């Protein structure tokens, strides 16, 4: 009986091979590259490169800068590298979406992830932000920590995270920052159930008088990997466009999940 050939060259799909060449080229380049440059360096027809890039772009593996028209790796390519979703990788990938929210509504946008201290208490760690474009606006520094129970970000993270133990609040004082602050475990439990049902959270002057925040979780397989918020003076953020802001943020969250994660 004749031995089976181990030469697999006859079954290689050239179009797939060329596409992988382009992905590896963009990874090595580490910056935006023009179609003509890719075509020249890889010795491929410009039309072939363009079609491959268009296909990759439609799936989120490649993005094109709208101003320079240069191509670079897109966010979904990093879904194959879990290490990219640490404290530095995830904010970097999400930041363009935060910019979109900030550009549309002008108020401050913050990105937070859940942190737990040695005493078991839950906190928000701010890992990304876009400053308010208005003179009167909220400002939170990246790296800062704050309580979960009185913030829209924190409520989203508690409501949509696994294995949250609310009993830690039974033996710890929930400080009453304003008359709107939740200060009981039962009150917090009811609030988190409401957040889960509606898909967003509100901080209605609960941490600071005059400050109103809308928070939305970023979910992967139904679990929050982060949350982002739109914050500003109560008279501006809780205006006639409040529902528009909430719906826009919920859709933006869905887009982030679609673009960044492989479900």
User: Could you tell me how far CA 150 lies from the centroid of its own chain?
Assistant: 21
Which of 67-71, 86-90, 133-137 is predicted most confidently? Answer: 67-71
At residue 259 the predicted structure's pLDDT band, cuts being 50, 70 and 90, is confident
Give the domain ranges of the chain.
Answer: 9-73, 80-260
Q: Tell me what pLDDT residue 80 has.
A: 60
Q: Which fold has domain 80-260?
A: Beta-Lactamase (3.30.450)
The yes-or-no verdict on residue 193 having pLDDT over 70 is yes
At residue 85 the predicted structure's pLDDT band, cuts being 50, 70 and 90, is very low
Q: Tell me what pLDDT residue 156 has.
A: 97
The yes-or-no verdict on residue 169 having pLDDT over 70 is yes
Task: Provide the b/e sequence for 105-133 (b: ≥16 CB within 10 Å).
Answer: bbbbbbbbbbeeeeeeebbbbbbbbbebe
Q: What is the mean pLDDT of residues 86-95?
A: 70
Q: What percent of the chain has pLDDT over 90?
A: 52
Q: What is the mean pLDDT of residues 193-210?
A: 95
Whole-number mean pLDDT of the chain? 86
Measured between alpha carbons, how far is 152 from 150 in angstroms, rounded to an integer? 7
| 117 contacts: CB under 8 Å, gap ≥ 6 | 123
Q: What is the mean pLDDT of residues 245-260?
A: 93
CATH number of 9-73: 1.10.10.10
pLDDT per position as a tens digit, 30-65: 788 999 999 999 999 999 999 999 999 888 788 888
Q: What is the mean pLDDT of residues 163-187?
A: 92
At residue 6 the predicted structure's pLDDT band, cuts being 50, 70 and 90, is low
The yes-or-no verdict on residue 126 having pLDDT over 80 is yes
Q: Among 70-79, 120-129, 230-239, whose mean pLDDT is lowest?
A: 70-79
DSSP result, the chain: -PPPP---GGG--HHHHHHHHHHHHHHHH-S-B-HHHHHHHHT--HHHHHHHHHHHHHTTSEEE-TTT--EEE-GGGGGG-GGGGSTTHHHHHHHHHHHHHHHHH-SEEEEEEEEE-TTS-EEEEEEEEE--SSSS-----TT-EEESTTSHHHHHHHHTSTT--GGGGTSS-----STT---SHHHHHHHHHHHHHHT-EEEESSSSTTEEEEEEEEEETTEEEEEEEEEEEHHHHTSTTHHHHHHHHHHHHHHHHHHH---
Q: Tell me what pLDDT residue 87 has.
A: 42
Q: What is the mean pLDDT of residues 223-251?
A: 91
Q: Tell me what pLDDT residue 81 has.
A: 57
Q: Among 7-11, 142-146, 190-194, 227-231, whose mean pLDDT is lowest?
A: 7-11
Measured between alpha carbons, how far is 103 from 252 in angstroms, rounded to an integer? 13
Give yes or no on whether 9-73 and 80-260 have one common fold. no
């Amino acid at each position: 009986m004749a031995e089976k050939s181990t030469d697999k060259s006859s079954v290689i799909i050239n179009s797939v091979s060329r596409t992988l060449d382009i992905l590896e080229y963009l990874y090595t380049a580490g910056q935006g590259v023009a179609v003509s440059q890719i075509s020249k360096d890889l010795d491929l027809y410009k039309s072939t490169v363009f079609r491959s890039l268009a296909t990759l772009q439609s799936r989120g593996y490649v993005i094109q800068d709208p101003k320079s028209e240069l191509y670079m790796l897109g966010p979904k390519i990093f879904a194959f590298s879990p290490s990219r979703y640490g404290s530095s990788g995830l904010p970097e990938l999400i930041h363009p979406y935060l910019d979109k929210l900030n550009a549309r509504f002008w108020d401050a946008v913050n990105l937070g992830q859940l942190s737990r201290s040695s005493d078991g208490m839950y906190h928000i760690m701010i890992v990304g932000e876009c400053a308010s474009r208005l003179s009167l606006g909220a400002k939170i520094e990246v790296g800062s920590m704050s309580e979960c129970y009185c913030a829209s970000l924190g409520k989203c993270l508690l409501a949509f995270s696994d294995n949250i133990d609310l009993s830690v609040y039974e033996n710890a004082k929930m400080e009453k920052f304003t008359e709107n602050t939740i200060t009981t475990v039962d009150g917090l439990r009811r609030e988190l159930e409401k957040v889960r049902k509606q898909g967003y959270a509100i901080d209605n002057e609960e941490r600071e008088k005059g400050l109103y925040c809308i928070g939305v979780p970023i979910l992967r397989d139904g679990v929050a990997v982060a949350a982002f918020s739109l914050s500003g003076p109560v008279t501006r953020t809780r205006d006639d466009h409040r529902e528009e802001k909430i719906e826009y943020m919920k859709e933006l969250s869905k887009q982030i999940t679609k673009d960044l994660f492989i479900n």
